[in-house]
Amino acid sequence: MSISSPALRILLLEDSTLDAALIEEELRAGGVDYVLQRVETRPDFERELSDFQPNIVFGDYKLPSFNGGEALAIVQQHYPQLPVIVISGAVGEEAAVELLKAGATDFVLKDRLLRLVPALNRALREVAERQALSRAHAELSVCNLELEQRVRDRTRELSQKNDVMEEDLRMAHELQLALLPRHFPTIPQGCGMAESAVQICSLYRSSQMVGGDCFNVTRISDTAVCVFICDVMGHGVRAALVTAMLRALEEQLGEKANDPGVLLREMNRAQCHIFKESETLVFASACVLTVDVAKATVTFANAGHPSPLLVHPAYGSVEPLSLEGSRGPALGIFADAIYPTCSHAIQPNDVILLFTDGLFEVENARAELFSEERLREAVGHHAQLPPKSLLQAVLGDVEEFTGGVPFGDDLCVVGVRIARMESTAA
């Protein structure tokens, strides 16, 4: 409240009528519009604090049975926000300091009443500032409560949406795993894998709930099987969707698997057509490999994919299935890309490993890359093992190299063992 506000209520504790008149004269001279209630005793003072509800208290320091110090204590106890100005004719400096420490707003000597109105102004400003600060704190408290409630509501909402998303991802994970073959074709058809001329095993891991790696194995004749493997750029849901699309394309175009280069060419055209309106480049590396135990050959075509490895356990040697100019661009980049089909002789007990780059593009604590060269060395070291054990041993070497750090990319490996040659179907 400012001093220009009407009816400023002043409670005056003063036993001298003359001093009270001088105080009022000073207030009028200072232009203060006020209502003053004068009391002399403690009971009256306590009563008027409640009934009169003053805006400020002026208190004489010395009265016959009551004094300003006691009045100040009463105000501090019951009305701590009410300003008190002590007015006295004679008090020591030490007592004045103690009064101010006890909570008095100011101290004015009766022979220097010219200070009264400025002291009143300052006291009322401080009250206004405290009230404004209190309102600000109250408003801030309300805002904080509202914000906390909004945060709780939003957290609950996000948690619910996250639960739905997690459930969707779990379902997507199950569907993606369902796209991967669990049982592989045998030669001759219908025999057990242990009796098959071509024996296949696989290993698959995704770095997230769903991944961008995929593979498939299909029979294309009584003596041949086709292996398809791909690695879509990126990770997560988008990569998984593209993987599902490529898997569908591979199955749709499966009749072309006799010529791996033709199959990749048609898949590339279809992918480029599907994403031609997209502003984001979507590409995938892929490899198609056909093993024919009647011809004792493996034919393959490569679309920017790591070269498969041909393992000769009898010699403990490893060679990449790659010829100069045999690797075409990744799928989805150039619609008219050509993918050459290459051939290589195979013999009984040979093992072919197809894999994605998640198997070797890993680093250790010293930021060293495992690399394709290290991978070939690891495969050569375990070349005598059966295919499934070979895959596990190589993976163990990679994990030992990384020191147990989780793989940052999806991982897919397919092993194909040529158990024997077979000229016709059984």
Domains and CATH numbers, the chain: 8-133 (3.40.50.2300), 180-418 (3.60.40.10)
pLDDT at 225: 96
Q: Average pLDDT, stretch 225-252?
A: 87
pLDDT at 90: 67
Share of the chain above pLDDT 90, in %: 51
pLDDT at 2: 43
Q: Average pLDDT, stretch 141-154?
A: 89
From 25-39, 139-153, 236-250, the region with the lowest mean pLDDT:
236-250
Asked if the model's pLDDT at residue 121 lies above 70, the reply is yes
From 3-12, 36-45, 256-265, the region with the lowest mean pLDDT:
3-12
Q: Please, which residues bridge with residue 84 across strands?
A: 57
pLDDT at 317: 93
| Candidate ranges 57-71, 197-211, 249-263, 387-401; pick with highest mean pLDDT | 387-401
Average pLDDT over the chain reads: 88
Query: Parallel, antiparallel, or unpaired: how do β-strands 309-312 and 351-355 relate?
Result: antiparallel
In 3D space, the residue among 286, 322, 321, 289 whose CA is nearest the CA of residue 305 turns out to be 286
Q: Average pLDDT, stretch 263-272?
A: 94
pLDDT band of residue 324 (cuts 50, 70, 90) is confident
In 3D space, the residue among 197, 171, 169, 172 whose CA is nearest the CA of residue 184 turns out to be 197
Asked if the model's pLDDT at residue 373 lies above 90, the reply is yes
Question: What's the pTM value of the predicted model, to 2 decimals?
Answer: 0.65
pLDDT at 172: 67
Q: How far apart are the first and last CA of the chain?
A: 107
CA dist., res. 45 & res. 23, Å (int): 18
The rounded radius of gyration (Å) of the Cα atoms in the chain is 45
- CB burial of residue 133 (10 Å; 0-12, 13-18, 19+): exposed
Q: Are 412 and 355 in contact (CB under 8 A)?
A: yes
Asked if the model's pLDDT at residue 135 lies above 60, the reply is yes
pLDDT band of residue 3 (cuts 50, 70, 90) is very low
Share of the chain above pLDDT 70, in %: 96
pLDDT band of residue 1 (cuts 50, 70, 90) is very low
